[in-house]
Chain A
Amino acid sequence: MTWRKAFITSLFIALLAVPFVIDYFSGGAAEEALDREKALERYGFYFEEVAKKSGIDFVHKAPSLDPKLDNIMPQIASMGAGVSIVDFDRDGWSDIYLTNSGEGSQNALYRNNGDGTFTDVASEVGVSDVNKDGTGVSMGAIWGDFDNDGFEDLLVYKWGRSALYRNKGGKSFEELEVPAFPEWANINSGIWFDFDRDGNLDIFLGGYFREDINLWKLENTRIMPESFEYAKNGGRKYLLRNLGDGKFEEVSKQMGIDSNRWALAAGAADLTGNGYPDLFVANDYGVSELYINDDGKRFIDASEASGIGFSPKSGMNASFGDVMNDGRLSIYETNISERGILLQGNNLWVPREGTSGADVKFDNLANAVGVEDGGWAWGSQFGDFDNDGDQDIFLTNGYVSADKNVNYWYDFSKVTLGNNSIIADAANWPAMEGRSLSGYQQKKLWANDGKGGFSEIALAVGIRETLDGRAVAVADLWNRGVLDVIVANQKGPALIYKNHVSDGRNWIAFAFENDDAIGARITVFRDKLMQTQEIHGGSGYCSQNQRRAHFGLGGTAKVEKVVIRYPSGETKVIESPEINKIHRVQIPG
């Protein structure tokens, strides 16, 4: 062999070794589980799962749909475990609402007793029996004070007839007739937001399956997406303007929202800086959508112009976080990643430097910062879990956990590659027969290092359950100045991760006394950083966080000032606020 041949052969062997070298040097090995003391020492925080200890014994039930779908029932009846945080009685403690999806099953409202325990009062106050036969079943729930009486009302969006419940002074609820609601629709995402900033909360609802489909009484089995990544045969979208007199009107098309993509998550935040909430919709089976709010007059579809509307994936989450501490919100969208089979990767849409206003553009930096591979990822939320001053990410995942020894991926990939006439008909999908599909997955917690990188440490900080997670919500459940995490699992128990944070990590929080504050923007100025958060009327996947802004401060002993922009657009400046304190804020008017 000549030296030339030897060189080329050596090069060839070296190339084949590259992935192993990258694995070795990238620290590919997963973090090991640590006990509480070691985790606190190494990472500064630790999660303890306390659901049962706290009196929360909720177990989600899946619906039993038309038997024509029996072959892939675990796949279709795979959603409905939602969680939302509310202080429904305004006692200063965050309560938890969990949705159920079995026919006739009960939703739960866990009132926070303030002593570390919770009591389910859903039945007592009238928000439990919402999955009655013939009305469909819950997919998620969101809370917002649509009638401005100081108490947050409840919207349960369903596969079926969505329902609105008025909160009567924090003591009971009454269901309202809302003619503007669709008679029947398969809604999988919903948010409250005041898109026209008139002081009345409006509603966005995103359809998944077409609205003419009743999943309990199918006329035929042609209900599936026409394409795995280019489908436009999903449910329609609804934008319900609050008229202020207890009535709503449907204005989606009039306002520029006309899409039949398969929406799975939605979120609203002011991404352009004009003070009006823009709308992001994460779609399954296709590209996601960004609607820029033109000062409340209309929505402009900026999906492609912003850089978001390319590269179709399986969007399942919409959450917002200021990951760079520069006052700009990024969008986190989850997708599917399965080793060796399908690597869509999650998207972290970060606003591009030098772009702003309606011309804002986003780049997907999920890979660059290390938050891309979340498995078959569902709900995710930002939160400063270690109180170090940076936004971390909690993500839950797992699709169908059944027989551990056999999986459905081969059949799934086989049919989804096919022509639309094949993939769109559920009858063509091979029977799952008890097989798993991306089941038993390890959840993710990405700790932000504050330098543009994230490290995955879920196992190390106590997150060990591998249930089929769906919704994630974040709240300071026990008013301790730390963020706890609540996870709703499909066909499984709800989990409460109580957060324990090391001493010496400062924080500051802002709770709104007289208003849900949805749309408020809070910016903390300290150490030449701008930490920004908004209060959302729903985010993540079928979930809603507390209506309180919590900021970790790390070792910072002084905050220079805090600027609060109320939903109306008015601003308030608080100079040198006290730290390690929940500030109670009254919103004017």
Chain B
Amino acid sequence: MSTEASNITVPQKAPVMPMKTFGIDTRLVMPLLITLILLVGQVFYGILESYPQTLLAIGVAILFDAVLSKIDRGHFPFLASAYISGISVGILTRSPFLWTFALCAAITITSKYVLRIKGRHLWNPSNFGIAAMLLIAPSAYSTLSFQWGNNFAAMTVIWVLGCIIIYRLKRFHITFTYILSFIFFAGIRSLWTGDAFLAEVAPITGAMYQLFIFFMITDPATTVRHSRKAQIVVVFLIAAAEMVLRMMENVHAPYYALFIVGPIANLVDIYWLKKPE
């Protein structure tokens, strides 16, 4: 999850963001909504393992973004993006150690400055941070998390807030395509494995998954910009990659699917796809 409102190069034909949304600075809407999700989750479900962990992730993300931006670009950035990345790491990380929250946040932010081509990210920073931590620190880091419980109330909260956000970003087609693709592939997996269809479709019915489909795969800074059709194709490919990883019984399939498909799609977008008129 990253908005990068202040960093991305807005395509010429992209819809121009209003400066105010509901009377609030547009760049603050996403952080406010994400904060609201965090607060609702904490008040009703106690989702945070501890406040220090989440605060550390947010603090490190902001600190790294401020310092690296100053070094790299000579000025301090608008810190909403770092704040959101910090919250993402805080919510999606499950670890008994404090240092993993700090390190994941640091890798997430630093990746934004290193893994760029022609001014664009290749990976969604939070996705990169999480996938990297899963690979390099498996004994100390995990994302398998049930903090939001398994009921519809939690889903509803995320769906309402998520819909507001992706409606504002005009990215509902991405989420919708992913859901349809996931269900389609769940059916194929069910036929293949013999497991109940409900078992295959179960992950996407859980609250934590909604954070992935609403906020991570829709990130404007790291989705392809060629066209809506291209975005739909890419998200279908992410679901397909996830299907393959799931057939290989990979517990962290969605993160790795986005980690693999995301940068390839962005490279194709940057170098080969002609921007539509």
Contact = CB atoms under 8 A, between A and B. Distances in A.
A and B assemble together: yes
29 contacts: A4-B71, A8-B110, A9-B114, A15-B103, A19-B137, A22-B99, A22-B140, A28-B139, A227-B146, A228-B146, A230-B146, A230-B151, A312-B147, A337-B96, A341-B142, A342-B142, A342-B144, A343-B96, A373-B96, A410-B249, A410-B250, A411-B249, A413-B144, A417-B209, A418-B199, A419-B150, A419-B152, A422-B198, A423-B202
Contacts of A19: 103, 133, 136-137, 140
Interface string A203-236: 0000000000000000000000011111000000
Contacts of B107: 12, 15-16
Given A8-B71, A373-B96, 10 more contacts: A7-B71, A8-B113, A15-B107, A19-B133, A340-B134, A367-B96, A417-B146, A419-B151, A423-B202, A430-B199
B114 A12 contact: yes
Nearest to B203: A417
B199 A417 contact: no
A587 interface: no
Interface stretch (B16-24, B43-51, B78-86, B222-230): B43-51
B156 to A, nearest CB: 12
A455 interface: no
Contacts of A310: 46
Interface string A13-28: 0011011101100001
A227 B147 CA distance: 10
Interface of A: 4-5, 7-9, 11-12, 15-16, 18-20, 22-23, 28, 226-230, 287, 310-312, 337, 339-345, 366-367, 372-373, 409-411, 413-420, 422-423, 425, 427-431
Contact of A339 (B138, B200, B246): B138
B7 interface: no
Contacts of B77: none
B87 interface: no
A417 B206 CA distance: 5
A311 B49 contact: yes
Nearest to A416: B146
A423 B207 CA distance: 13
Contacts of B193: 430
A430 B136 contact: no
A340 B135 CA distance: 9
Contacts of A413: 144, 251
Interface of B: 45-46, 49-50, 68, 71-72, 94-97, 99, 103, 106-107, 110-111, 113-114, 132-134, 136-142, 144, 146-147, 149-152, 155, 193-196, 198-203, 205-206, 208-209, 246, 249-251
A229 B205 contact: no
Contacts of B142: 340-343
A420 B72 CA distance: 48
A343 B97 CA distance: 10
Nearest to A364: B50
A420 B150 contact: yes
Contacts of B49: 311
B196 A428 contact: yes
Contact of A422 (B146, B147, B205, B208): B205
Nearest to B98: A367
B205 A367 contact: no
Nearest to A429: B199
B144 to A, nearest CB: 5
A428 B138 contact: no
A426 B137 CA distance: 33
A342 B203 contact: no
Given A19-B103, A311-B46, A339-B139, A428 B202 contact: yes
A449 to B, nearest CB: 20
Nearest to B71: A4
Nearest to A338: B142
A366 B96 contact: yes
Most chain A C-beta atoms within 10 Å of own C-beta, residue among B71, B99, B111, B193: B71
Contacts of A11: 110
B96 A419 contact: no
A410 B201 CA distance: 14
B94 A226 contact: no
B103 A422 contact: no
A227 B106 CA distance: 33
Nearest to A339: B139
Given A410-B251, A422-B198, A312 B136 contact: no
B150 A418 contact: yes
Given A230-B45, A340-B142, A415 B202 contact: yes
A417 B142 CA distance: 14
Given A8-B114, A12-B111, A341-B144, A414 B202 contact: yes
A223 to B, nearest CB: 15
A287 B85 CA distance: 28
A12 B110 contact: yes
B151 to A, nearest CB: 5
- Across the A-B interface, the 6 shortest Cβ-Cβ residue pairs: A418-B202, A340-B138, A410-B249, A345-B96, A419-B205, A19-B137
B198 A428 contact: yes
A344 B144 CA distance: 10
A513 B73 CA distance: 79
A433 to B, nearest CB: 10
B205 A418 contact: yes
A69 to B, nearest CB: 14
Contacts of A431: 194-195
A312 B148 CA distance: 10
Contacts of B132: 16
